[in-house]
Copies of this chain bind each other. A is one copy, B any other.
Amino acid sequence: MDNIKRVEPRTLSGFMELLPQDQIKFNEMLDIIKKTYELYGFLPEETPIIESSEVLLAKAGGETEKQIYSFKKGDKDLSLRFDLTVPLAKYVAQYYNDLTFPYRRYQIGKVFRGERAQKGRYREFYQCDIDIIGDGKLSIINDAEIPSVIYTTFKNLGFDNFIIKINNRKILNGLFDELNISEKKTEILIIIDKLEKIGMNAVKEELAKLELSKVTIDKIEEFFKIDGTTDEKIEKLSKLGFNSSVFNEGLNELKEVIKYVRLFKVNEKNFTVDLTIARGLDYYTGTVYETNLVGYESIGSICSGGRYENLAGYYTKKNLPGVGMSIGFTRLFYNLKELGLLNTSRKSISKVGIITMDTEYEEAVQISNLLRDNSIPNEIYKENSKIKSKFTYANSLDIPYVIIIGEEEKEKGLFTLKNMTTGDQKMLSSQEILDVLK
């Protein structure tokens, strides 16, 4: 083997790869997300990572398209999925006749974007999506269920101090209708999106560059300065006296969403109405959400989504409205780790390590079988090493309990159980060990 040409083992930058302790934590968190989604009855969906470029890029364009991993294999143009929404649209259009609507699904999986490498930006990352797709129509109550899922998910992940920001695109569109500036809506929303970062004065300066009148800019400022409690904001919106029917539709939807968000027992401190939230993507048409970790706003929204009028227009004539949200999990995990907000996790899956004093493993295998039959993860140390190395193994994996089998134990048919945290140890029967560990 030793005139071999060796390659340096390395992982590409922008690709997350974890050591076991972090991987255990990562998987535990993903599992909590999955279980929470399932508590709401969402069905699992799994689409391929590779799709035909023609299908995947039916809509894409601009920045997104540049980031996509596309390649040829044989005569086929293939691409790696860059989100889970386009595959959802494809899936719903393709299996329309086999699905029950409203179709409620989650998908947790990796997506791929060849972005410029940058701290905390990944090229291969997990998204954890839920969506509810209606056939022709979808009740507004669904828009209130999504914040409930977000709330329960982050509570179950152990967070307390986060805030779900809720808005409705129709309210924004109505404002622009009312001010007769709808044709500049996109540019204005891009500027408003920076409000939190650059402040109102800078926003006004940028708006002025769009050749908006001072009166209009003042109206915009008045609107975006609406503050107070959730109910106060809604009252102030009602009192604007706008005639725009779109505005009033959006306001009524927002009221209904807030009413049901409360019924869903989302804590008052964990949600708010935020009129500046628009979400960049074109396809949101009603309710929109962003979620921030309070005190860590700089990491951006950790969970976003909204309502769209038509999911799958590029694949089918059927009108399929939907509402959903997505957690960018890989980035979230990275940020939590960087910020020191990850609760430390166990380093081993095994709850028990089994160590023998000699190289005969009969009793070790027997107790291992018994523990496994009782759903207690465990492993036997099977290398012929000094007893110290055996304990070093258990220690470096932080295995909580060690069972020691020596001559005396074999004679008596007993096992010594050592609690590695307290150092206590006792010679016990296998049944007594089960009682302690269960």
CA distance A137 to B383 in the complex (A): 8
State whether A260 and B6 are in contact (beta carbons under 8 Å apart), knowing that A17-B48, A41-B349, A349-B43 are contacts in the complex.
no
Interface status of A281 (Cβ within 8 A of chain B): no
Q: How far is the CA of A64 from the CA of B17 in the complex (A)?
A: 25
Q: Is A316 at the interface (CB under 8 A from chain B)?
A: yes
Closest Cβ of chain B to A196, distance in Å, is: 32
Q: Are A8 and B315 in contact (CB under 8 A)?
A: yes
A362 to B144 alpha-carbon distance, docked (Å): 12
Is the pair B134, A383 in contact by a Cβ cutoff of 8 Å? yes
Q: Are B17 and A91 in contact (CB under 8 A)?
A: yes
User: Does the CB pair A50–B38 fall under 8 Å?
Assistant: no
Give the residues in chain B near A49, CB-CB below 8 Å: 49, 110, 112, 124
A residues 315-358 near B (Cβ < 8 Å) are 315-317, 348-350, 353
Kindly state whether residue A100 has any CB partner on chain B within 8 Å.
yes
Other-chain contact of A361, B17, B72, B260, B378 (Cβ < 8 Å): B260
The reply to whether the CB of A194 lies closer than 8 angstroms to some CB of chain B is no
A280 at the interface (CB under 8 A from B): no
Given A2-B317, A55-B10, does the pair A16, B100 have CB atoms closer than 8 Å?
A: no
A23 CA to B380 CA, complexed, in Å: 35
Q: Within the oligomer, what is the number of copies of this chain?
A: 2
Among candidates B27, B94, B114, B134, residue contacting A9 with C-beta atoms closer than 8 Å: B94
Kindly state the separation between the CA atoms of A367 and B355 in the bound complex, as whole angstroms: 50
Q: How far is the CA of A24 from the CA of B55 in the complex (A)?
A: 26
A76 contacts B by Cβ under 8 Å: yes
Interface-side segment among A162-170, A268-276, A369-377 = A369-377
**Chain B, Cβ-Cβ closest to A76:** B12
> In the complex the two chains form, is B46's CB within 8 Å of A90's CB?
no
Q: Check A44 against B23 for contact (C-beta < 8 Å).
A: yes
Q: Does A7 make an interface contact (CB < 8 A)? A: yes
Residue of B nearest to A124 (CB): B48
B52 x A10 contact (CB < 8 A): yes
Nearest opposing residue in chain B for A94, CB measure:
B9
B396–A100 CB distance below 8 A: yes
Using a CB–CB cutoff of 8 Å, the interface residues on chain A facing chain B are: 1-2, 4, 6-12, 15-20, 23-24, 26-27, 38-52, 54-55, 58, 69-74, 76, 78, 89-91, 93-95, 98-100, 102, 104-105, 110, 112, 114, 123-124, 134, 137-139, 141-142, 145, 152, 260, 263-265, 310, 312-317, 348-350, 353, 361-362, 365-366, 369, 372, 375-380, 382-384, 393, 396-397
Kindly list 8 other residue pairs between chains A and B, CB separation below 8 angstroms, not including A12-B78, A141-B382: A1-B313, A27-B44, A41-B377, A49-B112, A69-B71, A142-B382, A263-B365, A265-B369
20 residue pairs A–B, Cβ–Cβ below 8 Å: A6-B58, A9-B94, A11-B90, A12-B48, A12-B52, A16-B48, A17-B46, A24-B43, A39-B375, A40-B372, A41-B353, A43-B349, A49-B110, A50-B123, A50-B124, A74-B114, A100-B396, A102-B382, A260-B361, A263-B361
CB-based closest 6 A-B pairs: A41-B350, A71-B71, A41-B379, A15-B48, A9-B94, A9-B315
